[in-house]
């Protein structure tokens, strides 16, 4: 099968953009593979899950069924940290997934190092793969732990970042692509707020007194998350909007 033939089949299944990305990323496309991919596209499997690659903050990240695909909204979180912190830092990433947040920060903040935490063994394998691919083995370590556990880490950091699960179970606004993401990385109890409750309770043990925590939040969650953190004696610093004008990041200090 020629590339042009494959392109037409994939275009019919998933559109021009999907067909272009797949044919550019997968040079060897036997006919049986093309039809398999076309069927996946019709089922709503995201292109990134097919080519196992997603660009984020100018860097290529491996992704698979064990992780969320990096999303443009999360670049707001990375940009907020970089704008505040141009020099060396110790960074803790809670719920690292692909590692896209901490890797992007360490790549863009001179001298930064950090620790990437996730409860999922599969996600940590993906994060380690990306850390190795981007030559950061000496700057980022990984830890399997829950941010709901006070003793998840045993050191203090200048910055904590997190894009935790924040979707309420049953939320109908979830797009079709998210059906192929791990549920543990998407959904949280208490109307999507339970992860923030755990972080608000435990993160003070991991943050230096001069440090800050940067959190990605879901659309419309800013008041609820702000209330959770302030009730746990955190001080609100500011909010950041994404490119759609939605409040996407909240910043707190001790």
44 pLDDT higher than 70 = yes
3-state per-residue secondary structure call for the chain: CCHHHHHHHHHHHHCHHHHHHHHHHCCCCCHHHHHHHHHHHHCCCCHHHHHCCEEECCEEECCCCCCCCCCHHHHHHHHHHHHHCCCCCEEEEECCCCCHHHHHHHHHCCCCEEEEEECCHHHHHHHHHHHHHCCCCCCEEEEECCCCCCCCCCCCEEEEEECCCCEECCCCCCCHHHHHCCHHHCEEHHHHCHHHHHHHHHHHHHEEEEEEEEEECCCCCHHHHHHHHHHCCCEEEEEEECCCCCEEEEEEEC
Sketch the domain layout of the chain as residue ranges: 3-43, 55-60+65-253
- Residue range 92-117: mean pLDDT, rounded: 96
3.40.50.620, 3.30.70.1050, 3.40.50.300, 3.40.50.150: CATH of 55-60+65-253: 3.40.50.150
Top mean-pLDDT range of 24-38, 156-170, 221-235 = 221-235
On whether the CB atoms of residues 164 and 225 are closer than 8 A, the answer is no
pLDDT score of 176: 64
Percent of the chain with pLDDT over 90: 63
| Edge-to-edge strand list for the sheet holding 90-94 | 140-144, 113-118, 90-94, 157-162, 207-216, 247-253, 235-241
213-230 tens-digit pLDDT: 999 999 999 999 999 999
Q: Are 221 and 194 in contact, with CB atoms under 8 Å apart?
A: no
Q: Tell me the average pLDDT of the chain.
A: 90
Which pLDDT does position 173 carry in this prediction?
Answer: 64
67-81, 165-179, 215-229: least confident range? 165-179
State the pairing for strand pair 54-56/59-61: antiparallel
Instruction: Give the predicted TM-score (pTM) of the model.
Output: 0.90
pLDDT score of 29 more than 80 = no
What's the whole-number mean pLDDT along residues 140-146?
95
């Amino acid at each position: 099968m020629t590339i042009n033939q494959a392109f037409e089949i994939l275009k019919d299944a998933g559109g021009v953009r999907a067909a272009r990305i797949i044919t550019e990323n997968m040079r060897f496309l036997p006919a049986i593979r093309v039809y398999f991919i076309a069927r996946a596209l019709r089922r709503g499997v995201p292109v990134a899950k097919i080519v196992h690659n997603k660009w984020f903050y100018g860097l290529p990240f491996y992704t698979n069924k064990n992780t969320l695909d990096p999303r443009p909204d999360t670049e707001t979180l990375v940009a907020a940290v970089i704008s505040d912190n141009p020099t060396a830092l110790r960074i803790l990433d809670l719920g690292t997934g692909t590692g896209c947040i901490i890797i992007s920060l360490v790549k863009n903040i001179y001298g930064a190092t950090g620790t990437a935490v996730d409860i999922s063994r599969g996600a940590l394998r993906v994060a380690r793969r990306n850390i190795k691919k981007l030559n950061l083995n000496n700057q980022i370590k990984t830890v399997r732990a829950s941010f709901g556990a006070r003793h998840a880490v045993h050191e203090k950091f200048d910055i904590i970042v997190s894009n935790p699960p924040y979707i309420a179970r049953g939320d109908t606004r979830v797009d079709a692509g998210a059906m192929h993401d791990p549920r543990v990385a998407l959904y949280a109890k208490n109307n999507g707020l339970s992860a923030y409750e755990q972080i608000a309770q435990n993160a003070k043990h991991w943050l230096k007194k001069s440090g800050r925590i940067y959190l990605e939040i879901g659309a419309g969650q800013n008041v609820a998350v702000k209330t959770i953190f302030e009730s746990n004696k955190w001080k609100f610093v500011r909010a950041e909007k994404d490119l759609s004008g939605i409040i996407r990041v909240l910043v707190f200090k001790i």
